[in-house]
Amino acid sequence: MIKHALTTRLWHWVNAVAIIVLFMSGLNISNAHRYLYWGDYGFVPKDAWLSVIRFPGWATIPQYYNLAMARDWHILAAWPFGVGLLFIWVAMLVNGHFRRRLVTRPADWTPAAVIASLRAHSADGDDAGHGYNPVQKILYGGVFGVLLPLMVFTGLAISPGFQAAAPWLLEVLGGRQSARSLHFIAAWGIFGFFVIHMVLALANWRLILEMFTGGRIAAPTPTAAPSLEQPAIEGAPDHG
pLDDT in tens, 161-193: 787 778 899 999 999 999 999 999 999 999 999
Q: What's the confidence (pLDDT) of residue 135?
A: 86
pTM of the model: 0.82
Averaged pLDDT score across all residues of the chain: 85
Please report, rounded to a whole number, the percentage of residues in the chain having pLDDT higher than 70. 85
Q: What band does 194 get if pLDDT is binned at 50, 70 and 90?
A: very high
Residue of 135, 125, 128, 130 lying closest to 203 (CA atoms): 125
Residue 201, CA atoms < 13 Å, CB-side half-sphere: 11
How many residues in the chain?
240
Q: What's the confidence (pLDDT) of residue 131?
A: 64
User: Which of the four CATH numbers 3.30.70.3400, 3.40.50.170, 1.20.950.20, 2.40.50.140 does domain 6-213 have?
Assistant: 1.20.950.20
Q: Angle formed by the axes of helices 134-142 and 111-124, to 10°?
A: 100
CA angle, 197 then 6 then 218, to 5° = 75
**What single-letter amino acid sits at 206?**
R
- In tens, the pLDDT along 214-225 reads 877 665 555 544
Q: What's the confidence (pLDDT) of residue 210?
A: 86
Which has more pLDDT, 132 or 39?
A: 39
Q: Which alpha helices (DSSP H) does the chain contain, by range?
A: 6-30, 67-95, 97, 111-124, 134-142, 148-157, 160-163, 167-173, 176-203, 205-213
- In tens, the pLDDT along 98-153 reads 888 888 889 889 999 888 887 776 655 544 445 688 888 899 999 999 999 999 99
Residues 6 or more apart from 24 whose CB is under 8 A from it? 59, 60, 61
- Cis status of the peptide bond prior to 62, with omega within 30 of 0: yes
